[in-house]
Chain A
Amino acid sequence: MTRKFAFFPGCVLDSAAREARMATEAVAARLGIELVEIPGWSCCGASHVQDIDPNAALAANARNLALAEQLGLDVLTACSTCALMLRTARQELLNGRKNDINKVLAQAGLEYKGTAEVSHILWLLADTAAEWGPQVKNPLRKVRVASFYGCHTVRPPQVMTHESHLDPHSMETVITACGAEPVLIPDRLKCCGFHAVFPAEPTAHRLTASAADDAKKGGADCLLTPCPLCQLQLDMYQPDARKTEGKGGDTPVLHLTQLVGLALGIDREKLGLSRHIVSTESLLAKC
């Protein structure tokens, strides 16, 4: 398939979740998806900036979208919170804020027109699974995968419209296309706690431990998430959650594109699988 997008990586793909960027780019290259990074993109506000300066959050994302429009391409993200922030801004702009925000954007020589759609790489991979399925060189037949969607991948449905927020299937479509077995765990649509890990740390630890334990009890070899923030929370904080909750601690947590990369037979080094806090070795032995 040949497709071209304005790529919005988001801050964590350039720092703690760099492996998600590596895997996303490697998978895109293999599947003929051209990612043109939006020049000068800024932080989306990470669902925090609006708490203290909602206008700054909206204006920054209007700028991000205006920059993408200059490329004449739709936007693709690999982060669910970035997708939610950009799609929320787009909705607000198209529902009455476009003209006043454009007066502000004009100071930087920009104009928001409303042409670019914002999509998530999960949706792209799920919708095109039949196309890229035949390119799976290394079907992951021995691997059982528990999906963890991440709140902002599906909620709120007024903004994240791709599929039912009550009963989504895109993750399972991708897992099946990789030749792996999907495991439906009770926590698959729950929150990981990432956005409140500082003010509500005990809650975040309990949610993290629960998801890791849920996957284990369901007989899954790993958790899989399309959101790098969920991955960071469930992976980086799993040892802390283990300490306080006595559960989890050894459940590997993969980024969506890492699993797809493994199935496509992409070199493991290019997928950053050694950059995880919870070791991925037991999982890789089955791949």
Chain B
Amino acid sequence: MRTITFDIDRFDGNRAWTQSYSFEYAPGLTVLASLFLIKEKQDATLNFTASCRSAICGACAIRVNGNSLLPCDTRLDDALDQWKSDKLHLSPIGNFPVVSDLMVDWSDKIERLRRAKPGLHARKEFTAETGCRQSPAELALIINQWDCILCGCCASECNKLSDDSKDFLEPFVFTHASRYAHDSRSADGMLHVKDMLSNGLWKCLHCMECVSKCPKGIKPAGDIAAMRAMAVAHGNTDGPGPRHAAAFRTDLENTGRLNEVKLVPRTEGMVQAATERMGFTLRMLERGKMSVTEVTELYLTDNKPIEGIEGLRKIIRSEGTPK
């Protein structure tokens, strides 16, 4: 008999422990069906949430070996094959307070979701009589984001959120803001982006955990990038985030290559670069990362333009570049 073991993180409100459950392997089980098997046959006190069992309600998200997924949409065979083991460690999704065992508390997350102002504030020309018509091309811009089922998988391993959630929001909040900001029926996309700017829009680390973990193929990191572009287009160009991105864009057009020496003053301003980064600069010079001559030359002049720079400039300046 092939035996499968789930080591499950338990929590009863006071005490936390890990409990092992073993059961006989059966082909065709999902991870969620395995959990129901354990609850029905072995331990009725094991708590987890689940509803639709078809990956459309988002209630059952958990972590398997530290990685979030929907157990209703994950075949046990696939999980065992992924980890090349008949023993799996199940725990609640990360970056959420735990209520009991695999159940997490969403109440604070819903409050944070309100910062995206999730709801359509339609353009004035739309009325109850005419409705809010949208072309297929306009719908295509946001249709993927509408698949969000608020399962929380994108937030579970987000490296920024794990470090500090005070100055950053859950990736699904950014996705919700973006889907209204980029909705052709919205009166003012910036209505949804404004509060994202003050809640860490430029603090995303680009770790790509959210894109990797979303069971619906949504790309919250892409939504963050799209809202950054919208914010900059609306004149929100101040701050280290937008200035850093602008420095790369400037170099791309000027010479085709990054000017590392100008990057810091362009991002932080000359005063901060010359004072707070002095230790860093001296360290770089001392260890031979860059020479004084090289630094001076790069600061006073620039990189030599790449071969074909005129062509590159034409390409990236081109009005023909699709918007």
Contact = CB atoms under 8 A, between A and B. Distances in A.
Interface of A: 11-12, 14-16, 39-43, 45-56, 59-60, 62-63, 67, 97, 100-101, 103-105, 107-110, 151-152, 155-158, 164-167, 190-191, 193, 195-196, 198-200, 202-204, 206-207, 236-237, 239-240, 274-277
B257 A42 contact: yes
B276 to A, nearest CB: 10
B159 A191 contact: yes
Contacts of B252: 42-43, 45, 49, 56, 60
A45 B67 CA distance: 29
Given A16-B289, A157-B212, A166-B82, A107 B311 contact: yes
B258 A15 contact: yes
Given A40-B306, A277-B289, A203 B163 contact: yes
A259 B289 CA distance: 19
A151 B208 contact: yes
Interface in B290-323: 290, 306-312, 314-316, 318, 320-323
B126 interface: no
A15 B260 contact: yes
Contacts of A155: 207-209, 211-212
Nearest to B163: A203
B246 to A, nearest CB: 6
A206 B209 CA distance: 18
A196 B204 contact: yes
A275 B288 contact: yes
B283 A239 contact: yes
Interface stretch (B36-44, B99-107, B236-244): B236-244
B289 A275 contact: yes
Given A52-B249, A53-B229, A107-B320, A191 B207 contact: yes
B287 interface: yes
A217 to B, nearest CB: 18
A131 to B, nearest CB: 25
B280 interface: yes
A59 B318 CA distance: 10
Q: Chain B's interface: helix, strand, loop or mixed, by majority?
A: helix
Contacts of B248: 43, 45-46, 48-49
Contact of B308 (A108, A190, A199, A274): A108
The 7 closest A-B pairs by CB, nearest first: A108-B311, A40-B307, A155-B208, A11-B258, A42-B256, A191-B207, A198-B240
27 contacts: A11-B258, A12-B260, A15-B258, A15-B290, A40-B308, A40-B309, A42-B252, A48-B249, A49-B245, A53-B229, A55-B316, A62-B315, A104-B318, A104-B321, A107-B311, A155-B209, A155-B212, A167-B82, A190-B207, A196-B202, A196-B206, A196-B241, A198-B244, A199-B244, A236-B284, A239-B279, A239-B283
Contact of A199 (B163, B203, B307, B321): B203
B160 interface: yes
Interface string B235-271: 0000111101110110111001110100000011000
A16 B294 CA distance: 11
Interface string B220-245: 00000110110010000001111011
B163 A206 contact: yes
Contacts of A204: 205
A17 to B, nearest CB: 9
Contacts of B287: 274-277
Nearest to B252: A43
Given A15-B290, A151-B206, A204-B205, 7 more contacts: A40-B307, A49-B249, A51-B241, A105-B315, A155-B212, A166-B83, A200-B167
Interface string B19-51: 000000000000000000000000000000000
B306 A47 contact: no
Contact of A42 (B203, B217, B312): B312
Contacts of A103: 320
A47 B241 contact: no
Contacts of B239: 199
B125 interface: no
Contacts of B284: 16, 236, 277
Interface in B155-189: 159-160, 163-164, 167-168
Contacts of A236: 280, 283-284, 289
A207 B160 CA distance: 9
